Structure 1
Amino acid sequence: MSTPLVIKIGGAIMESPQALIELFKVVKTLQNTNQAIIIVHGGGCVADELLAKAGYTSKKVNGLRVSEPEHMAIITGALAGTVNKALVASANTVGISAVGLALHDGQMIKCTPAEEFLGCVGVPKANNNAFINGLVASNNVAIISSIGSLDNGQLVNVNADDAAVAISQLVNGNLILLTDVAGVKGASGEYLESLNYNDAQQLIEQGVIDGGMIAKVNAAFTAATQLRRSIAVASWKTPEQLITLQQGNVFGTRIEPNC
């Protein structure tokens, strides 16, 4: 089995059905070259919409969602239900055998409670790769939502970037974080080809890297350092570049390990 490629996508791509289809066409092309693919997704925009319809207000701290206990049924339904099953259905339309999962299926990922002010949020850790390895070996694409559970069975929301890092560690895979921008911007507004830890911290202090990109960049550094390989942060709007990535070409911003 090839080294799996873990692709993290955000909920924003759900607003562009054609972009989603184009991404899955590329995934199918990669599969045809015997590249194992795993997709991890969030879905914050869908969760926000459903929470608003229910009369709830979402809060975020440093780009991280505060998941109140009374919000969890809606958040779980949005991510593990609506978004996950829509992604599986889209993958099926281009001939991909896709399986929709949550993080705790097959005991893949174990979660511990995050900081209390975040509410029902979990910190993911790789646990058991037998289930996911079997799926991938059978030429399936696992599509994994960022919903997990604690040891006591409580469902928790997990930052999708952190979830993708944990899945990458689980399968010792390469990771690419797809977002709605072409990479990480530098102080002059240009997209950076590569980024090291010290430069990233400086850009965060300057406010150049802010909001949700802070969590994304920090997750990428965690993954790069633990996996001992660079991680790409790039746009889902040009999915064909995933193919050139296999050939060693630059795609988005490469996050370098913090050695």
Structure 2
Amino acid sequence: MKTVVVKCGGSVLKELSEDFFSSMKELQANGYSIILVHGGGPEINAMLDALKIESEFKDGLRVTSKEVLETAELALAGSMNRKLVRLLEQHGIASIGLNSSDNGLMQAEFIDKEQLGYVGDVTNVNSDLIEILCHQNVVPVLTPIAAGPDGTVLNVNADHAACAVANAVSADHFLMVTDVDGVLHNGELVSQLTEQQTNELIEAGVISGGMIPKVKSALKAFSDHVHHVHIVSGKKPFYEQGAWHGTEFTKEKVTV
């Protein structure tokens, strides 16, 4: 079974195009199973603001008190997850929304409870349950909320959660969906980069600003199991006639 794990950030959800869903359907038609992991930063921020709950970030991670955790889980599992499932089903893609803390689907340990609160690092993913759904040609849509120790629930960075899922199922491809085409150099899309080339472009200032955390997350997705990582646009086709669009990251240069 060929598998693609798709990480979709909350900020790009409203910008997903018809072409994006067409690419998802084409992947399925070509024998790929799809697993989707989503974030929800803007939705969480809006709910926190409405409830007048303060929130801050440390080292790119949201400091998560019990109040923030309850709000984040409501935004992710109660709002974002449902919206994404409905979008998929409206485009003819069978899917099911799952809160990843349920039934130990995703398990995590505290990173630093004193500094970060209820924030976790994934330690285990129940890949058997995910693969059962994939064999039924159903797309599991997962929240980045994990079961913690002693019955706690932990907030997980969505990029990290998606990487953990990709590793657990030995995904053939890992996609990070953004609002840009990929890495640009002199205005042109770079279709493929090795880890070394990517780091060189960061040092040279070619990759800058908000693209830096995107490509660093892409590089972190590499493992013994995951060898092909892509940054793709949610506004355009990312897979057509068997060809991938966007920027693909590989550990070593691929020769044709």
TM-score (norm 2): 0.85
- 1:253 counterpart = 2:247: yes
Larger mean CA deviation between 220-229 and 131-140 belongs to 220-229
1:18-33 alignment, distance < 5 Å: 19=16, 22-33=19-30
- Mapped to 1, the partners of 2:192 and 2:124 lie a distance apart of 27
1:148 to 140, 146, 149: 146
* More divergent stretch after superposition (112-121 vs 86-95): 112-121
* Aligned positions of 1:7-26 closer than 5 A: 7-16=6-15, 19=16, 22-26=19-23
User: What's 1:66 paired with?
Assistant: 63
Q: Deviations over 1:157-204 (max 9, x none)?
A: 111111111111111112111111222355x66543333334444555
Mapped partners of 2:138, 2:147: distance in 1: 24
Show the counterpart of 1:89.
86
Partner of 2:116: 118
Q: Give the conservation status (yes or no) of the 8 Å contact 1:7–1:37.
A: yes
State how far apart, in whole Å, the 2-side matches of 1:164 and 1:37 are: 12
Structure 2: distance between partners of 1:120 and 1:204: 32
| 1:163 partnered with 2:161 | yes
How large is the RMSD of aligned CA atoms in angstroms? Answer: 2.6
Could you tell me which residue of structure 1 aligns to residue 72 of structure 2? 75
Q: 5+ residue gaps in structure 1?
A: none
Q: Secondary structure at the match of 1:6?
A: strand
Residues 195 and 253 of structure 1 are in contact (CA less than 8 Å); yes or no, is this contact kept in structure 2? yes
Task: Tell me, yes or no, if the aligned pair for 1:8 and 1:40 is still in contact at 8 Å.
Answer: yes
| Count of equivalent residues | 251
Greater share of strand residues, 1 or 2?
Answer: 2
Asked if the contact 2:232/2:238 (under 8 Å) is kept, the reply is no
Residue ranges of structure 2 left out of the alignment (5+ in a row): none
Percent identity at matched positions?
A: 32
Could you tell which deviates more after superposition, 207-216 or 2-11?
207-216
TM-score by length of 1: 0.84
